[in-house]
Structure 1
Amino acid sequence: MFPRWQRPPPRSEEFSSWSLLQRVKPVKEKSGDQSPAMEGAVQLLTRDGHSISHNSKRHYHDAFVCMNRMRQRGLLCDIVLHVGTKEIKGHKVVLASCSPYFHAMFTNEMSESRQTHVTLHDIDPQALEQLVQYAYTAEIVVGEGNVQTLLPAASLLQLNGVRDACCKFLLSQLDPSNCLGIRGFADTHSCSDLLKSAHKYVLQHFVEVSKTEEFMLLPLKQVLDLISSDSLNVPSEEEVYRAVLNWVKHDVDGRRQHVPRLMKCVRLPLLSRDFLMSSVDTELLVRHHSECKDLLIEALKYHLMPEQRGVLSNSRTRPRRCEGASTVLFAVGGGSLFAIHGDCEAYDTRTDRWHMVTSMSTRRARVGVAAIGNKLYAVGGYDGTSDLATVESYDPVTNTWQPEVSMGTRRSCLGVAVLHGLLYAAGGYDGASCLNSAERYDPLTGTWTSIAAMSTRRRYVRVATLDGNLYAVGGYDSSSHLATVEKYEPQINTWTPIANMLSRRSSAGVAVLEGMLYVAGGNDGTSCLNSVERYNPKANTWESVAPMNIRRKSYHTACHSQRLLICYPPTASALDGGYPDDPLTILYTHSELEFVNSL
């Protein structure tokens, strides 16, 4: 008898791995829950059906948990990172696999690849320790207490996931008191998306931001960049003017010399004449500089010579437009067979939704509507009893209508348009006859002024602006529907006939798109039209383009994202001669030359 440890191995014919496999039954698939030991096991039959492939979903997790415990106990560690007074142990293979920075350090021909102790500079010790922990656990907590040290450390080690988490946290913390600081922090560390979002936040909340300590400490260049932006969101230019003065007065001795450069970026012509005289002209910091006096004179000329605004136009006369604000389409008033409405609806192009807003104080059908800056104007119209000279304006911020100065003439079925900040009203009907008179409203002074009359009386006329001129398109002169068009040049206060349209049209839709004047639908005296034509001002010619899907009149058009929006109520009335089955809006795509149904 041999001791057990001295016994010879069995003969191959008596026992072998193959003979054992021959005795093992093939694995059969079982229903129900698998045991933890079988979790992740995947059956894979060979030719004789006697093998499986095992894929454990927990393997990587369990392995890294084990390696992290070994790191914490100092087992098999082959690198010690020194930063400040802190020593952080780790495994090169783990750090190199998670961080491109460490991968380059430990795999290239650098001296650190052969060292067991490496000293790091320009990184926070606590942040480095958290990031090493993250390399083993894939978990990290980002908060107010560590984000300012964690983000630059993650950037250095090229741990983009942690860097993105830091940016996401900072983005969630934006408010007027810290957005400038976050913007500067993002710029320093090349976080482009965070920088863009923080800058956009500053522009959108400028009024609140301009009152913070961070704003008062901004360098001159950054202040100039902000107040020069077309995207600055302010209710009026007065807010920009006040912000500039407050910034200068925060360190008046060191900043008074910058006043001329700053005032060149304030859009003084957009301030009211009263504010210019009572606040700007009396400010000593402004009066001290001759360049500022020139800017003040320019602004006053813009008010006193409205007919010359086209010549005086520059970057300071251009209204600001808030970046990120959605375009809103308004449907105002209107009438049905039995009623005149004062309702107002707004369509948000960003959310693709209509919603009701405050109704006008007066019911108005056949009303003229236009927008100047942040206000919507409802001009004239018919209230079911008489034609109106009254005007009211809507402020979307306060959701309120306010009365404005009335026109000099009652007008319904009129054409309105805005040119160089002035509201023009042309033609229409005063209750007794068709009109050829025209007038304009200056919202800065609150006054209406008569301008030259058109050569033709026009009711149901449409007016549009193109290349600094007004165009009065078609209409009805009490005897016939018109194909004639007139152009108004404000510098010389003159209406001039241009080429006739291809069709007679009253109550048509008119809009400007990519330097062309489009006229769609309308009434030619015998029927409603679906034809569309456009005017080329350089060639003084009209040409037909794709027709609409449905004949239309008594509707309005607008432009958005290089498309024409044609707005028509779904319940059209006999008053306007519409069709009740019409869709609410259709879009005309300039590049495709076709109309498509929408909404």
Structure 2
Amino acid sequence: MDQPSPDGLLFRDHDFSSDLLRQLNGFRQSGLLTDVSICTSTQEVPCHRNVLASSSPYFRAMFCNNFKESRETKVQLKGVDATTLEQIVLYVYTGEVSITAERVHPLMEAAAMLQYPKLFEACSSYLQSQLTPSNCLGMLRLSEIFSCETLKEKARQMALRYFPEVASSADLKELCALELRDYLADDGLCGEEEKVFEALMVWVNHDLETRKWHLQELLKQVRLQYIHPAFFAHFITSNALLQTSPACRAILEAAKRHIFSLYGPGAPDLKPLCHVPPRNSYQDFLILLGGRKDSQQTTRDVLLYNSQSGQWQDLAKLPTRLYKASAVPLHRSIYVLGGMAVRAGKSLLSPNVYIFSLKLNQWRLGEPMLVARYSHRSTVHQNFIFSIGGLGDRQEVMSSMERFDSICNVWERMASMPVGVLHPAVAVKDQRLYLFGGEDVLQNPVRLIQVYHISRNTWFKMETRMIKNVCAPAVVLGGQIVIVGGYTRRVLAYDPQSNTFVKCADLKDRRMHHGATVLGSKLYVTGGRRLTPDCSIEDSDSFDCYDPETDSWTSQGQLPHKLFDHACLTLQCIPHPSTCP
């Protein structure tokens, strides 16, 4: 824009410089006033020294110092082919160049050598746009050759984010041991540890005689404690190559003791496994499934909560409507057990087990329970699912318990609880399974804590006046078992070590048939039914959070609909991009 000055008008012609350069390019193409030719082995390109010297520090040094090229009419440019030279000269005179997949590498190399940083970054941006899991490792090597940090960072991010796909590429086998170690040790690697282990073994076996000496150090980078126990038992401990190394056997034995809890906490020969957190790519997700929706029929809905946006996302629906089934998370999957299957207006007690993968957003059928049951409770310890009590096909209150071994994929009968109860609060802590309260066959509250010693397969019971909960969930929070409501506003924290209770801040309402789970260091409570001051019952869509640090409750908004008798749980996994919030 023209600006006035004390002596007149400051005129600016913004097109003048570009028009001037365009005229110079016309002179170059016509051979007018050119004073130097840039030569390759097959071609000579006439140019103007002053234009080249103005465009790059490389040519400025060549023509403005006492080098022999400053006096020669022909300058040989080594390392640049004829086509690339034409592109570079065109860029100098017009500021434009066509970057294609076929020409980007020589063009980028020439831009680096001749010191055209903007052209270099344009080539880098083009390569970044072409990044895929199959070529990112090759791009990484290229970025190191050209010292291109932006391409290097993007290619590395791609390799970490899509590690399972990258691991299947031929380029992974060409990494050196130090490079592979750098990847396997990275917290940001997105992939289950099973895939990490498989990638390591593929790399080793590609050049076994040379690479087996790196196996011990690289195996330490696999976070064995997060591997599915069945995979560990069937594919890792039986690996012949690992078994030939005493050092690798020691690593596996430590991991095995951690995964399978073969020894008690006081075992003198047990060295604690160094705690390594799961990779950053693992996330905790709050998931709701099933239950009674808006006071209507049992729903098949599965909902995932996005804590960042505060929104709920629909996932793949349950395969069938299940009334008062139970659900638990195990090995990055959700297991839905039993319930009353509702089909075409008919109800049938089900022993079926349905397994949901968040990564695939799919359901599959698992090994059925030994006994069909509903209104039962289920919980998880290590590699086992315990399914406890409930109602049988003759509406009898069951005291039986069965256990699913996820490694052997079998159910087995365990010792029955001392007193058959319905709707107790259930939690596992320190090798013991705790049942708090519930109701007897006459629907009277039971003031009992029933404790199951997992390794001994034995029960004992304790009477307590503190317990009077029915249809209440329990969670482990901060080393204590927290029992949330149950026809009461009261929230109790139980310390198994001292066998004592501490009252926490009350719920807003007398709540039952609600869900509860721990996400991070906080307790989340969803839906349920509430008793109003006039003792009527209302369904709820509330979504509340308890912070043990402040002993206070806050509202997180509302559920998408009123919901009760649903499962509320936390699942830690690496989600598929289509299900990632």
- Give TM-score scaled by structure 2 length: 0.67
Would the alpha carbon gap of residues 334 and 581 (structure 1) be closer, same or farther in structure 2, given more than 3 Å must change?
Answer: closer
How many angstroms apart in 2 are the aligned matches of 1:159 and 1:482? 81
Matched with 2:514 is 555
The letter of the residue matching 2:166 is: V
Relative to the length of structure 1, the TM-score reads 0.65
Measured after TM superposition, the shift of residue 378 of structure 1 is: 0.5
Greater shift in the superposed pair: 444-453 or 81-90: 81-90
Alpha-carbon contact 1:553-1:578 (below 8 Å) kept: no
**Secondary structure of the equivalent of 1:357?**
coil
Over 3 Å counting, the alpha-carbon distance change for 1:124 and 1:546 in structure 2 is farther
Q: Is the 8 A contact 1:307 1:491 kept in 2?
A: no
Corresponding residue for residue 459 of structure 1 = 422
Q: Where does residue 313 of structure 2 map in the other structure?
A: 354
Aligned length, in residue pairs: 532
Residue aligning to 1:339: 297
Tell me if the contact between 2:258 and 2:273 (Cα under 8 Å) persists in the aligned partners. Answer: no
Q: Which residue of 2 aligns with 1:34?
A: none
The answer to whether the 8 A contact 1:510-1:517 is kept is no
CA distance in 1 between counterparts of 2:437 and 2:101 reads 65
- Which structure is larger by alpha-carbon Rg, 1 or 2? 1
Paired letter, 1:359 = L
Secondary structure of the 2:407 match is coil
Contact 1:568 1:582 in 2 (8 A): yes
- Residue 372 of structure 1 is matched in structure 2 by 330
Matches within 5 A, 1:153-552: 161-189=118-146, 191-192=148-149, 194-227=151-184, 237=194, 239-240=195-196, 242-263=198-219, 270=227, 276=233, 284-294=240-250, 323=281, 328-335=285-292, 339-346=297-304, 352=311, 354-360=313-319, 362-383=320-341, 385=347, 388-396=350-358, 399-408=361-370, 410-426=372-388, 428-430=390-392, 431-433=395-397, 435=399, 439-449=402-412, 459-464=422-427, 472=434, 474-478=436-440, 505-508=469-472, 510-511=474-475, 515=478, 519=482, 522-524=485-487, 529=489, 542=502, 544-545=504-505, 552=511
For the 8 Å contact 2:326–2:338, the answer to whether it is kept is yes
CA distance in 2, matches of 1:155, 1:463: 66
- Deviation of 1:392 after TM superposition, in Å, equals 2.0
**Contact 1:484/1:500, CA 8 A, preserved across alignment:** yes
* TM-fit CA distance, 1:370: 2.2
Change in 2 beyond 3 A, CA 1:565/1:218: same
The structure with the greater share of residues assigned to strand is 2
Question: Which segments of 5 or more consecutive residues in structure 1 lack a partner in the other structure?
Answer: 1-39
Deviations 1:367-394 (A, max 9, x none): 2222223422102333465665432212
Unaligned 5+ residue runs, structure 2?
560-581
Task: State whether residues 414 and 428 of structure 1, in contact with CA within 8 Å, keep that contact through their aligned partners in structure 2.
Answer: yes
| Shift in CA distance, 386/538, structure 1 to aligned 2, threshold 3 Å | same
CA-based RMSD: 5.6
Residues 284-314 of structure 1: CA deviation (Å, up to 9, x unaligned)? 5345434455566667767876676998898
Contact 1:557-1:567 within 8 A present in 2 as well: yes
Distance in 1 between residues matched to 2:501 and 2:32, nearest whole Å = 87
- Conserved? CA contact 1:365–1:383, under 8 Å: yes
Per-residue deviation, 1:417: 3.9
- What is the one-letter code of the residue matched to 1:166? C
| Counterpart residue type for residue 354 of structure 1 | Q
Matched, 1:582 2:541: yes
Q: CA deviation at 1:541?
A: 6.4
Please list the CA deviations of residues 379-421 of structure 1 after superposition, one character each: whole Å capped at 9, or x if unmatched. 2333465665432212345554333234455553444444434
Q: Which amino acid aligns with 2:408?
A: T
- Conserved 8 A contact 1:310-1:491: no
- In structure 2, C-alpha distance between the alignment counterparts of 1:111 and 1:457, rounded to whole Å: 93
Aligned-partner residue type, residue 218 of structure 1:
L
Q: CA deviation at 1:547?
A: 5.3
Is the deviation greater in 338-347 or in 312-321? 312-321
Aligned letter for 1:459?
Answer: L
8 Å contact 1:484–1:499 — kept in the other structure?
Answer: yes
1:5 aligns to what? none
